[in-house]
Every structure is written in structure tokens, then in C-alpha cells.
Structure 1
Amino acid sequence: MEQITLSFPASRTLSGRALAGVVGSGDMEVLFTADSEQALNVEITTSVDNSTARWNALFERLSLLNGLPAGKLIIHDFGATPGVARIRIEQVFEEANHA
């Protein structure tokens, strides 16, 4: 298991907390907690070694598309494809937007 910690500038705010996915489902679980910081702080536990560049690229893409919200994002990844990762992250942001 690899632990990855990332931080990205936030360009929007959300409120509340949200959960998307289930760690036991075989792909990934994403938990988001909004805060008033100016950054999105991400903690990733992954079964895929040497994947920091992949995660950085995914968050850079998300930042360009919709901006990133301020808060803390915890990801438990057990081999999800980049497409599934993006869907789960977008789901958790959408749920928090309506919290």
C-alpha cells in the first residue's frame, strides 16, 4: 500500500460532507469534508505503487474543468481505473454541493 498526500489550490467552496463508493466494492471510496481553507488537501491510500503522477494529472484535469473545492478529500483506492476515480471524485463533490 502506498500513501500519497497532495494539495491543490481551491477555487470554490462547498459545505458539508459526502461519501461516494464503497471500499469493499473492489474499486474505491472517496470521502470529502468541506472547510474554509484555500486548498483541497488530498490523502490517498492506494494499492497501485508509483501512481503519484497519475493522481496529479487527474486533479489537474479536474481543476481545469470545474475548479476544485476547499476541503479535505480522503481516497481509499484499490486499483480503480482513472475513469472510475474521476467519476467517484465528481460524485462526492456533487453530493457535497447539495448537502
Structure 2
Amino acid sequence: MQTLTYRFPATSQPRRPVHIGVVASGDLEILLESLPQADHADVRVRTSVDGFDVIWHDVLARFFARAALSGRWELNDLGATPGVVALRLRQAVEAATEPMEAG
């Protein structure tokens, strides 16, 4: 098990906390919490696959260059491919930025 930490600049805030995906074979769980007034995203990746630091950094850097959403990001990985990682990240942003429903 390996834990990686990254920080990326961010320009927007999530509207709500998010929980996307599950920790399962080939999948990825993402938890996102707001960091009020933050101008960055703190990302912690816990992965079962050692030695992919550069790939994780590159996938996340590309993502945050396009979707600069601040907050505390927790990514719990059990062998997800870069495609699955990108999908889960996009789902997290969609869930975190959609307008709150009136109720």
C-alpha cells in the first residue's frame, strides 16, 4: 500500500461534499471536502499498486489544469486504470458543482 500526496492550484470551490465510487478491484473511491477560501486542492492517494507515482501525478496534473476545484481530495485506489481515474474525477466535479436542489 502506498500513500501519495499532491497539491495543485485551484480557482473554484465545491458546492457540497462528494463521495463517488467504491474501493473495489479495478475501481476508485473519491471523497471531496471543501476547504473554505482555499486556492488549492490537497490530494491524497492511497493505492494498492506501488511505483506509479509519476503516472498519478501526470493524470492529476492534467485533470486539475482543466477542472481546478479546490478542496481536500481523498482517492482510495484498488488497481484503477488511468481511464477509470479520469472518469471518477469528472464524476466528482459534476457532483460537487451542480446546483443545490430546492426542497
After TM superposition, the score normalised by the length of structure 1 is 0.90
> What whole-Å deviation, never above 9, does each CA across 1:67-95 have from its counterpart, x for those lacking one?
32110100100100000001001101110
Percentage identity across paired residues of the two chains: 33
Structure 1: which 4+ aligned runs deviate by more than 3 Å? Answer: none
Larger Rg: 2
Q: What SS class does the counterpart of residue 56 from structure 1 fall into?
A: helix
How far apart in 2 are the matches of 1:81 and 1:93?
19
Task: Specify the alignment match of 1:2 in structure 2.
Answer: 2
Check the 8 A contact 2:25/2:80 in 1, yes or no: no
* Runs of at least 5 residues in structure 1 that lack an aligned partner in the other structure: none
Q: Considering fraction of residues, name the structure with more strand.
A: 1
> Cα distance, 1:11 vs. partner?
2.1
* Cα distance in structure 1, aligned partners of 2:52 and 2:15: 29
How many residue pairs match? The answer is: 98
**Structure 2, unpaired ranges of 5+:** none
CA contact (8 A) 1:34 1:69 kept: no
1:57 aligned partner: 58
Using structure 2 for the length normalisation, give the TM-score: 0.87
